[in-house]
Structure 1
Amino acid sequence: MTIAPSVLRTFHVSKAHRGERRIHPGVPRPRPTPGRLPRLTRMMALAIHFDRALVTGRFASQADLARVGQVTRARLTQILNLTCLAPDIQEQLLHLAPYSKGRAPLTEREVRPIAAEPDWDKQRNLFAKLTGKTSGPN
């Protein structure tokens, strides 16, 4: 009598609609990190998206973009002013860590005065003070 080789297969079971279970081949996808993405991170991404839409000519003016985005022109200006931040500050804002309890560690209102400063070195110093980090040699 010969014994057939055994077959090993990796699978996982997930819940579907109304408690139904489904079997999927392979290993399950990792769950996203718990917590919420800071609003400031989402606003920075939106500012870059809006700026790109204006530069490429998708919208003729900020007023058109504000109308389509369903925000006031003043609010659109506040959002777009985030693109005046130094590139390294923008990158830090885009990579803020998610948080799960309490308020966000940084708010847009706190960053607005920094974006109004035209000198990037001064922006970096102000941002370092805001976040509690020490700035580099200046």
Structure 2
Amino acid sequence: MDEADVHQAEAAAGDMEVAAGARIVVPVQWARRGRVPERDEDVPEPRPRGRIPRIARLLALAHHFQHLLDTRVVPSQTELARLAKISTARCTQIMNLLVLAPDIQEEILFLAPVCKGRAAITEKKLKPVLATLVWAEQRRRWAEVKRQRL
């Protein structure tokens, strides 16, 4: 509280009688001086070593492609394939990843980085999962694929 605040408080209390033993409570805000220590959230987590699995990158690309189509940035999947310099068949293969059940997509997007060698889950291993549009069947087949890779 600075001097002006004290005078204002005295003027406001000037007309009031204060009983003996009364307590006056004044809110005080303490300011820290010097350097504020870093909080845990300010420190970035170390990046995991390795590379993002190819299938995860392709699924993210499929979502990006779909966004471009939904917002009409690109008028058609054929035009999208032309701009991406891939065949229309390859564009369709990538876009077909979007028919996977949402929980399977999430698992794919959060697959552990590949440190060396090939990724455990590949497009080829996903073909039986993509062969059906029924999510319950996809989940059963996905569980099989995950079991085989272990």
TM-score range, shorter chain: 0.7 to 0.9
Instruction: Report whether the alignment pairs 1:109 with 2:142.
Output: no
Question: Any conservation in 2 of the 1:82–1:115 contact (CA below 8 Å)?
Answer: yes
| TM-score where L is the length of structure 1 | 0.72
Compared CA separation, residues 91 and 30, structure 1 to 2 (3 A): closer
Q: Percent identity?
A: 43
1:37 Cα shift? Answer: 0.9
Counterpart in 2 of 1:76?
A: 91
Counterpart in 2 of 1:43?
A: 58
CA RMSD in angstroms, aligned pairs only: 2.1
1:30 Cα shift? Answer: 5.0
Q: How many residues are paired up?
A: 111
For residues 39-90 of structure 1, what are the alpha-carbon distances to aligned partners after superposition, in whole Å with 9 as ceiling and x for unaligned?
0110110011111111221111111000111110000000000000000000
One-letter identity of the residue aligned with 1:91: E
Instruction: Report whether the alignment pairs 1:85 with 2:100.
Output: yes
Question: Any conservation in 2 of the 1:81–1:116 contact (CA below 8 Å)?
Answer: no
The one of 40, 46, 49 aligned to 1:34: 49
The one of 77, 100, 109 aligned to 1:62: 77
1:116 Cα shift? Answer: 2.6
Counterpart in 2 of 1:94?
A: 109
| TM-score where L is the length of structure 2 | 0.67
One-letter identity of the residue aligned with 2:117: G
Could you tell me which runs of 5 or more consecutive residues in structure 1 were left unpaired when the two chains were aligned: 1-6, 11-26, 134-138
> Which of the two has higher C-alpha Rg?
2
Could you tell me which runs of 5 or more consecutive residues in structure 2 were left unpaired when the two chains were aligned: 1-33
Instruction: Give the structure with the larger strand fraction.
Output: 1
CA distance in 2, matches of 1:65, 1:111: 24
CA distance in 1, matches of 2:91, 2:55: 14
Structure 1 stretch displaced more, 87-96 or 28-37: 28-37
